[in-house]
Amino acid sequence: MAEPPLNSNTRASDVDTGRDWPAQIADTAVRVIEQIRDKTTRPAITVARALVFGLIALSIGTVAIFLFLIGTIRLVNGYLPGTVWTTYLLLGGIFTLGGAFLFSKRKPSNRPA
């Protein structure tokens, strides 16, 4: 096949790359689609995964805290004399002291009143 003549409207690069234009169009389409996917789908998948794993961790953590509290109350109730109210009094005092300690370590906000 003969080469098309170069005129003032034809660039040399058009003539050189004109033979394999279907492959170039396919490569360009794949590249553009990958760029779009990198900017849209991957961040959405990352956010969805973080949300799902965060909810799973929150639910497992909540169950673990309740089971720990129930076990602690039953354990302390077995060793303290009296009824269950002494256990509640002891654990309530411990949690109150812990909360007061954490409250004393807070930083004041810089917002005007």
- Does residue 15 contact residue 4 with C-beta atoms inside 8 Å? yes
Which pLDDT score is estimated for 107?
Answer: 85
**Average pLDDT across the chain, whole number:** 85
Task: Give residue-wise pLDDT tens across range 10-29.
Answer: 555 555 556 788 889 999 99
CA–CA gap between residue 73 and residue 86 (Å, rounded)? 10
In this prediction, residue 108 has a pLDDT band, given cuts at 50, 70 and 90, of confident
Task: Give residue-wise pLDDT tens across range 85-107.
Answer: 889 999 999 999 999 999 999 98
Which pLDDT score is estimated for 54?
Answer: 97
Q: pLDDT > 90: what percent of the chain?
A: 50
For the chain, helix, strand, coil in percent to 5 are 80, 0, 20
CA–CA gap between residue 58 and residue 48 (Å, rounded)? 15
